[in-house]
Amino acid sequence: MSEIITNGAGTAPIGYTVGEDLVDRAAPDGPIETRWTRRKFAAKLVNPANRRKHRIIVVGTGLAGASAGATLGEQGYKVIQFCYQDSPRRAHSIAAQGGINAAKNYRNDGDSVRRLFYDTIKGGDFRARESNVHRLAEVSVQIIDQCVAQGVPFAREYSGLLDTRSFGGVQVQRTFYARGQTGQQLLLGAYQALSRQIDAGNVEMHPRTEMLDLIVIDGRARGIIARDLVTGKVSTYMADAVVLATGGYGNVFYLSTNAKNSNASAIWRACKRGAYMANPCYTQIHPTCIPRSGDHQSKLTLMSESLRNDGRIWVPKKAGDTRPPDQIPEHERDYYLERIYPSFGNLVPRDIASRAAKNVCDEGRGVGPGGLGVYLDFADAIRRMGEDKVREKYGNLFEMYERITGENPYKVPMRIYPAIHYTMGGLWVDYDLQSTVPGLFVIGEANFSDHGANRLGASALMQGLADGYFVLPPVIGNYLAQAKLVPADVDSPEAREAYDRSTERLERLLAVNGDRTPDSFHRELGQLLWDYCGMARNEAGLRKALARIPELREEFWQRVKVPGTGAELNQSLEKANRISDFLEFAELLCLDALHRAESCGGHFREESQTPDGEALRDDENFAYAAAWEFTGVGSPPVLHREQLKFEEVHLAQRSYA
C-alpha cells in the first residue's frame, strides 16, 4: 500500500509498504504448559567464571530494569546501568498504586494459571501471543514469593495470610497489594537488591544520564551513546548486549498519568537503528483519573483501579442535571456499568469502562466542570464496612484525592474521567525478549509482547518483574553463549558515527533559536493526538492528524527555542530532544491506527463497532501483530505482520455482561 495526500505544505507521504511476515523463531511448540520449562532447558548456559567477562548495558531502573540489573549482577555479569532520575528508586514504577496479579488462588475462588492466562488473552481482546501470556501467568506465582522474601510489606489478613482484591476484567481476587503504594514498595524491594549489586561492584550505576542512541556493529547491538544531564557530557558505552527497560510512550499525548520525564527516545532511537516498532496504536485509556482542571495542567493524576472494588460509578439519568450528588435521589442515578455489564459491574476492563464513561458524558450526563466526569461513590461501602475500614484499605488514596481537589471523598463522591495511561505497543520482541536487532533485549512496558490491545489492571507490575527477575536472565545467557562476540571498541566507525549523530542533533536543536518553547509544540501535538487518535479514532480524523504532524515537525525545527548550551544542566534541551522524537513517532502511531481498520481493546475505530457500541474485531484480516520497520523520517515505513495463532483459546466477541 502507498498513497499520497495533499496538505497545506504540499504533499506528504502517509502510506506504507508491506514486507515479509515475521515469525517468532524463538517460541517453542508443543504443550503450552511446558513451553517455558522446555525453552529454559534448551537455552545455552554461560558458566559463572565466563559471566564475569561479559558486559551488559541496562537502560532504565523501574521494576523491569531494577530487577534485571539486580539479577544479572547477582549472576556475575558486569552490568552498566542508566537512569535519567537522580536515583534508581525514583523510576515511574513508584506511581503504580493498586496491586500486582498472581495466580496463587489464596482465596480458593477458582483462580489458576490457566484462568489468569485466559483472562489476559480475553482482556487484550485476543491480540496477544498465547505462549508469552501463559509464561507470564506461570511466573506470576514466583514473583510473590520473591517479593515477600525481599520484605515487601504486602497487606495481610487478620490470620497473617496475604490479602488480595479484585481488578478489572476478572471475577476472582488475585491482586496482591500494599495499600495504595504497591509500585513503590515493589520498587524498593528491587532497588535494595540492585543496591547490593552496586555495592558489590557488579553494577556500575549512572543516574541523571539519558540514552541518546544505539550502537549497532555487524548487525548486533553493542552499546549506547548517553548524555550526563548534569554536566552535558556525551559519552560512549560498549557492551556485549543492551537491555532497554525504559517504559512506554504515553507522554506523546502530553497530558497523561505518566511522570513528566517519561519518554520514548530510547525505543524510538533503537527503532531508527533497525528494531521494529509493534502495535503503537494500542494505547490504554485508564478510566479512573482525576479530571483535568484547566489548560495550565502539564500532567494528570491517576486514582487506583482498586477503588472500583468498593466504589460505585454513576451519573445522573437526566442530561444537564447539575444538582450536587447528595441531592440526586437513588432512583434518578444511573449506575451504568452495573446496568450494562451485570456480571462484572464496576470491574469491567479499562477500555470498556473508559468508553462507557465517554459515552455518558457525550450524552450530556457528565458531572463537574465541563461535564467531563463521572462519580466514584463510596457511600454504600462506608455504610457497609464503616469509615474506619474504608480508611484502612484506601486512606492514602483518599488523602491524595483531597489534596488535589480540595474535596473530601468520605463526604462527597470522587469525580473521575479517562486519561492516557499505559501503552501496550512497543518494540517487537521474540519469545526470548530479543528485538529484530540481535543483542538488543527489551523488557517491561518498552516491548509489545504480553498484553494485546488492552492491559488488565495490576498486570504491568507483574510483567515488569517477570521479565527482569525470571525471563531475561536465562534467555540473555543463551544469546551470549552463542554470539561469538569480538571486543567492541569505542573508537570503531559505528560508535563514532553514533556519537557524531547524537551530538549533531543536540547542536542543531540549540542552533534553531526560534520563538516557541518545546512545551508549546508538545502541548499542540498532544491535543492533536487526543482529538484524533484518543479514546475513539476514525479515518477522517486520523488523516487530519497525519497531514498536520509533518507540518508541526517542520515548524518545530524552524521555530523551537532552546536557551543555554549543551555543556551544562539544560532541561529545555532535554525536553526538546525528547519532543523531537515524539514528533517522529506520532506519525507512526497514527498510521498504525489508520491501517488497522478494526476495533480491538484500547484501539477503537468508530467505523468498526457492534450495534451495542462495543469494539468489533476483524479476525480474518487483522489477527496479527503489526511490526513497523523505519525507513527514514517522512518516508513510508515497511509493515511486517506476525500472524497470531490461537490454539488454546477460542476467538470470540468479548462479553462482560
CA–CA gap between residue 108 and residue 164 (Å, rounded): 11
Give the three-class secondary structure for 464.
helix
Find out whether 472 and 441 touch, Cβ atoms under 8 Å: yes
Tell which residue, 530, 49, 469, has the closest CA to residue 251.
530
CA–CA gap between residue 185 and residue 180 (Å, rounded): 10
pLDDT digits (tens, 9 = 90+) for 174-228: 999 998 899 999 999 999 999 999 999 999 999 999 999 999 999 999 999 999 9
- Dihedral angle of Cα 349, 355, 358, 359, to the nearest 10 degrees: -120
CA–CA gap between residue 412 and residue 414 (Å, rounded): 7
Which helix H or strand E contains 197, and what residues bound it? helix 182-200
pLDDT at 5 over 70: no
pLDDT digits (tens, 9 = 90+) for 47-64: 999 999 999 999 999 999
The predicted pLDDT at position 14 comes to 63
Neighbours of 376 (CB within 10 A): 22
Burial of 505: CB neighbours in 10 Å, binned 0-12, 13-18, 19+: middle
- Domains observed in the chain: 21-282+424-482 (3.50.50.60), 287-420 (3.90.700.10), 492-624 (1.20.58.100)
User: Is beta strand 333-334 parallel, antiparallel or unpaired with respect to 312-316?
Assistant: antiparallel
* Signed CA dihedral, 154, 156, 161, 166: sign only: negative
Find out whether 285 and 419 touch, Cβ atoms under 8 Å: yes
Of the listed 39, 350, 415, 548, which one is catalytic? 350
pLDDT digits (tens, 9 = 90+) for 309-362: 999 999 999 999 999 999 999 999 999 999 999 999 999 999 999 999 999 999
Give exposure, 263-294, as e/b (b: 16+ Cβ within 10 Å).
Answer: bbbbbbbbbbbbbbbbbbbbbbbbbbbbbbee
Q: Is the pTM of this model over 0.95?
A: yes
CA–CA gap between residue 265 and residue 213 (Å, rounded): 8
CA–CA gap between residue 582 and residue 533 (Å, rounded): 14
pLDDT at 1 over 90: no
pLDDT digits (tens, 9 = 90+) for 270-284: 999 999 999 999 999
Average confidence score pLDDT of the chain: 96
For 540, residues 6+ apart whose C-beta sits below 8 A from its C-beta are none
pLDDT digits (tens, 9 = 90+) for 513-556: 999 999 999 999 999 999 999 999 999 999 999 999 999 999 99
Q: In the structure, what pLDDT confidence band is assigned to residue 164 with cuts at 50, 70 and 90? A: very high
Q: In the structure, what pLDDT confidence band is assigned to residue 294 with cuts at 50, 70 and 90? A: confident
Classify residue 232 as left (phi > 0), alpha (psi -120 to 50) or beta: left
DSSP 375-412: EEE-HHHHHHH-HHHHHHHHHHHHHHHHHHHS--TTTS
| Residue 350 falls in the annotated catalytic set | yes
Q: Which residue has the cell 462527597?
A: 412
* Signed CA dihedral, 212, 589, 464, 76: sign only: negative
Find out whether 315 and 456 touch, Cβ atoms under 8 Å: no
- Length of the chain counted residue by residue: 657
Q: Which residue has the cell 512545551?
A: 519
